[in-house]
Chain A
Amino acid sequence: MISAPDVVAFTKEDEYEEEPYNEPALPEEYSVPLFPFASQGASPWSKLSGAKFSRDFILISEFSEQVGPQPLLTIPNDTKVFGTFDLNYFSLRIMSVDYQASFVGHPPGSAYPKLNFVEDSKVVLGDSKEGAFAYVHHLTLYDLEARGFVRPFCMAYISADQHKIMQQFQELSAEFSKASECLKTGNRKAFAGELEKKLKDLDYTRTVLHTETEIQKKANDKGFYSSQAIEKANELASVEKSIIEHQDLLRQIRSYPHRKLRGSDLCPGETERTQDPPSQAATTSDPEESADTDHYTCRPAYTPKLIKAKSTKCFDKKLKTLEELCDTEYFTQTLAQLSHIEHVFRGDLCYLLTSQIDRALLKQQHIINFLFEDLVEVDDRRVEKQESAPPRPSHDRPTSRSVEECPVPQVLISVGSYKSSVESVLIKMEQDLGEEGSREVEVTEPSSFDPQENLAYLDTDMKGSISSGESIEVLGTEKSTSVLSTSDSQASLPVPSSPQVVRSKAVSHRTISGDSIEVLSTCPSEAFVPDDFKASYPGAVNEEESHADDGGAAIHFQAGLSPPELGEAEEGGSGVTPSQTDSCCVGREGGTLRVPLSTPGHTLSDEDGVVSVPPQRYQQKDQEFHVDVSLENANASSRDSGSEGFPAYELDPSHLLASRDGSKTSLDDHSDATSYGSSVTSASSDRTPSSVPPTGPSSERHKKRAGQNALKFIRQYPFAHPAIYSLLSGRTLVILGEEEAVVRKLVSALSIFVPNYSLHAKPVKHWVSSPLHITDFQKWKLIGLQRVASPASAGTLHALSRYSRYTSILDLDRKTLRCPLYRGTLVPRLADHRTHIKRGSTYSLHVQSVLTQLCAKAFLYAFCRHLHLPARGTEAEGLAASRQASFLQLNLGLVNEDVKVVQYLAELLKLHYTREPSAAGQPVLRFDYVPSFLYKI
């Protein structure tokens, strides 16, 4: 039996939300929690679990009505990825935790079957035996031929890293929702098409039957009906009924609430579609609808078929594939989205988190990003997308709100608290598909609550009603240890007047003991909780408590609420507020119990043997070990030693070997090959290295190499500082050399110091051999120039000396630099030749941080109104200038030439901000009349 419940609420950062966002507390965001097992001498990179698959993958499974749960496809579609991992078994697992109540049937008071537009459910699930942890996203698609018209599917992101699933839950959920929405949109269209065909068939059948009946009537004038005629009449009647039902279904699917579409992220195809036919869009107010109807009506002519009275047995027919269920177009889009997800989330968790922190911070400084960040483009587009989408109604998507509104989302993660929260307790799940009997029992039980409702369940006619409830009941075994979620139990609740209103709202956090499946949490799916719901609270709670006392149940409900709040919630009849929904557990015992809220006492009852700490990110900060590591230090200690030697734990030969072997990427230098923590990690954890960062391999690799070469340059040339100063202050640096490769290499290395004009391209020209022109200095800030030995070079050199006031010239062959004097303090920090940084990627991060700081200064300078505009109209001219100077010097702490750097960056900011979107941003060439000096080694 289960002694300790291992399921904990997946709490979100409600406390964080309540706190007004005061100031960006930078140091905290950068703090990295200590590895919790560091004291035990464990390497943070080694994986304890023996996962049978080499890396994360996405699995799509279906609960087929013919063969049960079955895997459909994996992304990436490569058997090497999942290796010996038993997909069938895992499909069974993940499909058995579908909570959603997507039943279709005759709701009370309605003569026709109702389509329920259910929301997807999102579950985190772990299988410690397999070493697999999964985010599971359940969805149902409509299929006219399926039982109950629904086909339950699920998409699962499977990883060996439990923390990744837990900590990236929001992100996974958001991304998978997009994919699911795409699938469902395609499915609705396809379903509507099917319905139309079916209607035509039925219509045709009716006509045929009608004619036949008429003939029979005529042939048989005796005034009584033969049994044949009666049969025909019955058949006709059933066809009529069927027609009406199908028409109703069609109406329902067409009237799919568009507000939902608007609220959620439209998948790309849909957006295109809505914009495609403007003429039709003009006819109706709702473009979406018009597009839909267009899609339905403009099908090619369809020849109706006669429908046999007896429907075929469900096992005879071949079920549609997923691709058929959805439009092919939507299907491929979904696949693209899924592989995007896979691409984004693969790799080590710490890398993911770092890049998320990075992105979150970059988002905050979107005005200055263009200067040095080359990834901004992607990010910005994403941000814009998010912003352009209408804000979701916060009341039904609390989690997404927290994602979008948290200025620094998912930054603070307490590994410690997670650890304790995921105390695995084996959950018993002895279930097998053949257990019809138990299922029936389960099904009938709700009837005691609501017979009408039960009818819907038991409806076994052609429309069928295998609701997803059935698949849920797979969990609800005779062991009675399962807890069904509200969303599930809602199906058996007294249904309010409109069944569509009833959507599962509550989150269920449950444990099912007896097997190795640990359902860690689910996220709230959107819905309202009916008022009636609370009626069942007391009994449910009581029963739950008694059950818990029995010690037989591993159910634990964790309410992360303070008692007053809880009381309030219980009193407030309107149901569960988002935060409560998140933090409380709702369970159902044996299909009859619903425990929506637990009392505080229950939560804290230690005698239950319950140990539960919710994984709260922003809470319990006191429990975390915050170590503020500056980038430099962190790098120096962990990654940085890569080029010279591995840290102690990495020096373990097996690790080293693994990392070498694992990283199949052949990068040009050793430091590059080992510079990724993630690759080292994954290698040691027996996974294929996912050294490809989510943001794009080329830029990352480029950065790494550039950092390394820049580091070399700084070490090699004592005059690196004035050269970098030239770049930062917008003075074109010409790198003169004979060998193209050498020049190119240095150019790309130094390009990390070149501020951009705009998002589009760095003003860097890697290699030219023709004489330079004034336009080149306007366009390029870093130029690699060929030194030719022929007389032709005279022109080149002449031009160079002519335009010497616009350029700094670095002669690679003679090792000289001609450029203005630099006496500031900024560049020495940026490019210290005695730095302990050894790796290229580390150095480029260091550069990034210093430059970001610099950009922030430039931002302050550019956007301080009083510095640039006269305070009063009659102010003397010189005053603003003196204010500027004192601001730069005193407030920003800039000395000498550093001022010019900030001024230049501020000018770029101004230009960028004020630039008209249409205008082709022609940069001005700014220069100073300052003397140059010749530096030699």
Chain B
Amino acid sequence: MLRWLIGGGREPQGLAEKSPLQTIGEEQTQNPYTELLVLKAHHDIVRFLVQLDDYRFASAGDDGIVVVWNAQTGEKLLELNGHTQKITAIITFPSLEACEEKNQLILTASADRTVIVWDCDTGRQVQKVSCFQSTVKCLALLQRLDVWLSGGNDLCVWNRKLDLLCKTSHLSDTGISALIEIPKNCVVAAVGKELIIFRLVAPTEGSLGWDILQVKRLLDHQDNILSLVNVNDLSFVTGSHVGELIIWDILDWTVQACERNFWDPSPQLDTQQEIKLCQKPNDVSIHHFTWDEENVFVAVGRGLYVYNLQMKRVIACQKTAHDSNVLHVAKLPNRQLISCSEDGSVRIWELREKQQLAAEPVPTGFFNLWGFGRVNKQASHPAKKQQENSTSCSLELIGDLIGHSSSVEMFLYFEDHGLVTCSADHLIILWKNGERESGLRSLKLFQKLEENGDLYLAV
């Protein structure tokens, strides 16, 4: 692992070059997933998974159907048919506290230019909106205002009863690709290369109607913005096709930090790799982020990077984590990171602190070489520099899950039930911890024995 991060500092360079993709082999003692259940219901690429509650999730994809599953048993609970074309966005729609109906709702948007509200407990189609001019590509829920937004070529605001409250003018033909809520009743929409900030005006005593106003356009990205997330109360992060990572201040929408150099061909890389990079320009596109309190985990092309928010620098990276583009990453509570990729595999990584000798200059040199830190707007503190040396981390592969035969689009992690992955091979796989499942089955067995009265406990 170390050798990948260091990239040739101490390890023989040749080894790294020979097999750029790290493999782990068949013995994976730390991989807890020793049981799998293949769930088959879809007829096309499954693109979305959304967790409904502790034990249920919904899946949706290009076949236009939404399926509700039991994550424990793998049982198919419901199949929601209504869309005629592929589903483009799905969000859960938590019911109001005051509302009598406690049923879990989900919203789905489809390429057939409709949005449907489903009741996930009954499978009922609650409501359907079909007055869209364009395909809705993203959905966002503003729970505080009890409205939801749909983003296509324009941005519409809806209330719970699916009344159109207001909408923007036509924004772009490419449409809004991502939409998040930020404080002060604002939302950020990613439209092509630019970020547009809208402010929602709720009805007050003076004005009865809702309104949505364009507040600011941010033009810092060079290429299409692919991902946009809220990382904490202070900032949101965007990533673009050419590997630009920008951290924005959530309140004044200014750039806090920026990383543009993921794609820079390093002089240390040999020509072969350079060619590869050239051949695959989206090797550095940022597809997905995930975050925790300290770090943002970035899927850059085939690689994984860990960007520390405090230090404003990459503390660990795995340049070729997968054979192909990483599509989704998630952070597990136990310092583990899971990534899935177009190559059909899911890999489990562990973020390990590297016990670095203070005198070792390699990491700093390495990052400097890559140009990290230079672009930081705020000056690096010397004290933090000191820290960097000792807290640099590594991503170590502890297991891979092979099951899908095609690109793994997304996954969901259940604390209690394991991991759910969905893929372009139309399948959903439920990965489970075999040992725990075995224990659960024993529990169930003895419960059933007790029910049947077959259990005699020795006194």
Contact = CB atoms under 8 A, between A and B. Distances in A.
Given A805-B26, A907-B438, A907-B441, A865 B455 contact: yes
Interface string B440-459: 01111110110000010100
A867 B438 CA distance: 12
Interface in B417-456: 427, 429, 432, 434, 437-439, 441-446, 448-449, 455
Interface string A858-890: 000011010111000000000010000000000
Contact of B448 (A778, A914, A922): A914
Contact of B441 (A774, A863, A910): A910
Interface in A820-870: 862-863, 865, 867-869
A738 B36 CA distance: 31
Nearest to A799: B405
Interface in A885-937: 903, 907, 910-911, 913-914, 919, 922, 924-932
Interface in A43-63: none
Interface string B24-35: 011111010011
B429 A774 contact: yes
Contact of A910 (B28, B427, B442): B442
Interface stretch (B176-184, B264-272, B299-307, B396-404): B396-404
Contacts of A929: 26-29, 31, 34, 399
A494 B334 CA distance: 91
B38 A930 contact: no
Interface in A766-795: 773-775, 778
Contacts of A880: 439
B179 to A, nearest CB: 35
Given A929-B29, A930-B26, A922 B441 contact: no
A624 B144 CA distance: 89
B74 interface: yes
B446 A865 contact: yes
A465 B165 CA distance: 99
A774 B442 contact: no
A366 interface: no
A931 B29 CA distance: 11
Residue from A774, A799, A803 with most neighbouring chain B CB atoms (10 Å): A774
A518 B417 CA distance: 72
A775 B405 CA distance: 11
Nearest to A927: B34
A774 B34 contact: no
A932 B37 contact: no
B216 interface: no
A869 B443 contact: yes
A913 B448 CA distance: 8
Contacts of B29: 929
Contacts of A913: 445, 448
B134 to A, nearest CB: 37
A778 B404 contact: no
Nearest to A881: B435
Contact of A778 (B34, B36, B445): B36
Contact of B442 (A805, A868, A919): A868
B40 interface: yes
B40 A775 contact: yes
Contacts of B442: 862, 867-869, 910
A927 B437 CA distance: 13
B441 A914 contact: yes
Given A778-B37, A914-B444, A930-B26, A924 B402 contact: no
Nearest to B456: A865
A931 B26 contact: yes
A295 interface: no
Given A925-B38, A927-B34, A775 B448 contact: no
Contacts of A865: 446, 455, 457
Interface string A599-643: 000000000000000000000000000000000000000000000
A320 interface: no
B35 A930 contact: no
Interface string A753-770: 000000000000000000
Contacts, number: 87
A928 B457 contact: no
Interface residues of B, number: 36
B27 A926 contact: no
A770 to B, nearest CB: 12
A260 interface: no
B38 A778 contact: yes
A774 B405 contact: yes
Nearest to B454: A863
Interface string B1-42: 000000000000000000000000111110100111110100
A745 B214 CA distance: 73
Interface string A464-500: 0000000000000000000000000000000000000
A305 B7 CA distance: 112
A251 interface: no
A129 interface: no
Contacts of A910: 438, 441-442, 444-445
Nearest to B455: A865
B441 A911 contact: yes
A775 B441 contact: no
Nearest to B434: A926
Given A778-B38, A929-B399, A924 B432 contact: yes
A774 B403 contact: yes
A258 interface: no
Contacts of A862: 442, 445
A805 B399 CA distance: 12
Nearest to A865: B446
A802 interface: yes
A922 B443 contact: no
A926 B34 contact: yes
A855 to B, nearest CB: 16
A930 B446 CA distance: 31
A928 B445 contact: no
A869 B35 contact: no
A360 B25 CA distance: 49
B299 to A, nearest CB: 22
B36 A924 contact: yes
A326 B34 CA distance: 62
B66 to A, nearest CB: 21
A42 B177 CA distance: 94
Contacts of A867: 442
A775 B37 CA distance: 9
A791 to B, nearest CB: 18
B445 to A, nearest CB: 5
A803 B35 contact: no
A924 B438 contact: no
B38 A868 contact: no
Contacts of A911: 441
Given A880-B439, A907-B438, A914-B448, 12 more contacts: A774-B427, A775-B40, A799-B405, A863-B449, A865-B446, A914-B445, A924-B36, A924-B432, A928-B34, A929-B29, A929-B399, A931-B26
Interface of B: 25-29, 31, 34-38, 40, 74-75, 399, 402-405, 427, 429, 432, 434, 437-439, 441-446, 448-449, 455, 457
Q: Name the 9 nearest CB pairs between A and B, nearest first.
A: A868-B442, A929-B28, A910-B441, A931-B26, A774-B403, A914-B444, A910-B445, A775-B38, A925-B36
10 contacts: A774-B405, A774-B427, A774-B429, A799-B405, A805-B26, A863-B445, A865-B455, A880-B439, A914-B445, A931-B26
Interface of A: 773-775, 778, 799, 802-805, 862-863, 865, 867-869, 880, 903, 907, 910-911, 913-914, 919, 922, 924-932
